[in-house]
Structure 1
């Protein structure tokens, strides 16, 4: 699968559209463009059984966030605080992500 550009980046606040966590908001901890997935804070938490290591001598069950598909999240605008689609806006010979609702440039 070829690497694509995602509409969300690390640090963005996103709204979850589908799944058991639908309706929740969270911060993107990691974007994985090669797999078209994102890891969102507090969303899609799974329990992982780990064996004892030097870092975790006890071992046991650890809860961590699992990746979800980027098509299942929607960017939340920083100005209007609502989920929005991403528009491209040309400013000084460079394209920026912008809010489709209010037109505000998201990253600068």
Structure 2
């Protein structure tokens, strides 16, 4: 099973493909496929039928999963996508930190 380096709720920057340079929030992580679902990234057009009471029928634009290797975690301090490391704080808590500036990402 491939390891995914991002978590649900992280802000990521896309580094390759059609949406290169865009950033968004990770909505879902699919570790079995090594993919992530990012808000506003990789929008596809789907033709939907109404199902249930509240479902709207018609042409719908929704996010499709992309490979996690196309995304870097966004560092607010640096203002760009960065690689991260892991360290253990004095109180025993594990955190991820930006390798560029040293700021905690968690």
Out of 59, 70, 73, which is 1:72 matched to?
A: 70
Structure 1: state its 5+ residue gaps.
Answer: none
Residues 13-63 of structure 1, C-alpha deviations (whole Å, 9 max, x = no match) = 11101111111111111111221111111110001111222232x521111
Aligned residue runs from structure 1 range 45-84, under 5 A: 45-54=43-52, 55-56=54-55, 59-84=57-82
Partner SS, residue 71 of structure 1: helix
Cα RMSD of the aligned pairs, angstroms, is 1.6
- In structure 1, how many angstroms separate the alpha carbons of the residues matched to 2:43 and 2:85? 30
Structure 1 window deviating more from structure 2 (47-56 vs 33-42): it is 47-56
Aligned to 1:44: 42
* Structure 1 consecutive aligned stretches of length 4 or more whose deviation exceeds 3 Å: none
1:7: which partner in 2?
5
Residue 96 of structure 1 is matched in structure 2 by 95
Give 5+ residue unaligned stretches, structure 2: none
TM-score under structure 2 length normalisation:
0.87
SS of aligned partner of 1:18: coil
- Matched-pair contact (CA < 8 Å) for 1:98–1:105: yes
